[in-house]
Amino acid sequence: MRIITTIAEMHAQIETWKNADQTIGLCPTMGYLHEGHASLMDYSNEDNDYTVASVFVNPIQFGPNEDLSKYPRDFERDCKILEAHGVDVVFHPEPEEMYFPDFCTYADVDVVSDTLCGATRENHFRGVCTVIAKFLNVVQPDKIYFGKKDAQQLAVVRRMVRDLNFDVDVVGCPTVREEDGLAMSSRNVYLSPEERKAARILSRTLRLGQDMIREGCSDSKELLDAMKTNLATEPMADIDYVEVVDGISMQPIETFGKGDVVAMAVRIGATRLIDNFTVGDMAIEIPEV
Ligand code: AMP
């Protein structure tokens, strides 16, 4: 496995592969990897001749009061995981390699970015889209892999790729969960043992929502009222949002069907956790706890 830190070296590597007619999959990450990240590499390996994973904590997607400086990092451990999952190249640039001091060009997706996490995390998706646009130019992958755990991120990137004509397939991969149902996240390490237990309320509440849908519910208000009542049974849970949105535009809808997304962001102590499911995508079972 090769570790590349500069854009020039990355371009040279990509040129060699392209000249040999090889296909490339790209899995962007911010590191501190877990099995959820690793599953993206596995999908990419199945589909492509070569897999590139980026490990880059992207400063421009963090707000002034967010966790950029304390975002967990362990590049050595990440490399072991990436190597075990057959990654060919790790792209690990310093922020200075990605952003000139007078950098001032952004990719900004309206509408799809305005709801859910975008409503409170100002400029977050502008930062995500900008770094992904740059990675697409640097790596020129045939396919790029994202987790459905970040449903809005996936929808926003799909829209950018369509609207700006990037020649890449965007692949959404299932959410990988801990045994008790909690969606894996690099941020889970922030949780104290007590908070970690309280965090089960997210997947339990999604499961409640899935059960209601299986029993025929298609009314957003009815679903959301029941889910909010359930979240309120956990005293440590502080709701940021629970919404039902159109699966493509991420706009709230009154009645829902297949492909729409039930999404939540909940604070457990100081840690903000997100989770969701897509209606009709019930193959992703949330374990009973
Ligand atoms: P991050 O390092 O948090 O930016 O995540 C990098 C990629 O991994 C994103 O596409 C995430 O959606 C994806 N990802 C994070 N957690 C999970 C998970 N539990 N299951 C599947 N994919 C995930």
Q: What is the pLDDT of residue 286?
A: 72
Q: Which residue has its alpha carbon closest to ligand 1 atom 7? A: 29
Which residues in 186-214 are b (16+ Cβ under 10 Å) and which e? bebebbeeebbebbbbbbbbbbbbbebbe
CB-ligand 1 contact for 150 (6 Å cutoff) = yes
Residue percentage of the chain with pLDDT more than 90: 96
CB-ligand 1 contact for 29 (6 Å cutoff) = yes
Strands annotated E in the chain: 2-4, 24-29, 50-55, 89-91, 143-147, 169-173, 237-245, 261-268, 271-278
User: Which atom of ligand 1 is closest in space to residue 184's alpha carbon?
Assistant: 19
CB-ligand 1 contact for 156 (6 Å cutoff) = no
Q: The tokens 């692949």 sit on which residue? A: 171
Residue type, 154: L
Residue percentage of the chain with pLDDT more than 70: 98
CA of 39 to the centre of ligand 1 (A): 9
Distance of CA 38 to the CA centre of its chain: 13
Q: Are 135 and 28 in contact (CB under 8 A)?
A: yes
| Per-residue confidence band for 287, with pLDDT thresholds at 50, 70 and 90 | confident
Q: Which residue has its alpha carbon closest to ligand 1 atom 6? A: 29
CB-ligand 1 contact for 173 (6 Å cutoff) = yes
Residue of 181, 182, 63 lying closest to 127 (CA atoms): 63
Segment (H or E) for 204: helix 200-214
CB-ligand 1 contact for 203 (6 Å cutoff) = no
CB-ligand 1 contact for 149 (6 Å cutoff) = yes
Encode pLDDT of 146-169 as tens digits.
Answer: 999 999 999 999 999 999 999 999
The reply to whether 37 belongs to the active site is: yes
CA of 186 to the centre of ligand 1 (A): 8
User: Which atom of ligand 1 is closest in space to residue 37's alpha carbon?
Assistant: 8
Q: Are 181 and 287 in contact (CB under 8 A)?
A: yes
Rounded distance between C-alpha atoms, residue 59 and residue 6, angstroms: 17
Encode pLDDT of 196-206 as tens digits.
Answer: 999 999 999 99
Q: What is the pLDDT of residue 289?
A: 63
Rounded distance between C-alpha atoms, residue 209 and residue 5, angstroms: 44
CA of 8 to the centre of ligand 1 (A): 27
Per 3-state DSSP, the chain is made up of helix, strand and coil in percentages (nearest 5) of 40, 20, 40
Distance of CA 129 to the CA centre of its chain: 12
Domains with residue ranges and CATH for the chain? 2-173 (3.40.50.620), 186-278 (3.30.1300.10)
pLDDT at 255 over 90: yes
CB-ligand 1 contact for 40 (6 Å cutoff) = yes
Q: Which residue has its alpha carbon closest to ligand 1 atom 11? A: 147
User: Which atom of ligand 1 is closest in space to residue 187's alpha carbon?
Assistant: 3
Rounded distance between C-alpha atoms, residue 168 and residue 21, angstroms: 16
Rounded distance between C-alpha atoms, residue 184 and residue 253, angstroms: 28
Find the helix packing angle between 35-47 and 75-84, rounded to 10°.
40
CB-ligand 1 contact for 10 (6 Å cutoff) = no
Encode pLDDT of 38-88 as tens digits.
Answer: 999 999 999 999 999 999 999 999 999 999 999 999 999 999 999 999 999
Q: Which residue has its alpha carbon closest to ligand 1 atom 13? A: 147
Q: What is the pLDDT of residue 241?
A: 98
Q: Which residue has its alpha carbon closest to ligand 1 atom 19? A: 184
Query: Is the C-alpha dihedral spanning 94, 97, 100, 101 positive or negative?
Result: positive
Q: Are 267 and 234 in contact (CB under 8 A)?
A: no
Residue of 115, 108, 110 lying closest to 251 (CA atoms): 115
Encode pLDDT of 213-222 as tens digits.
Answer: 999 999 999 9
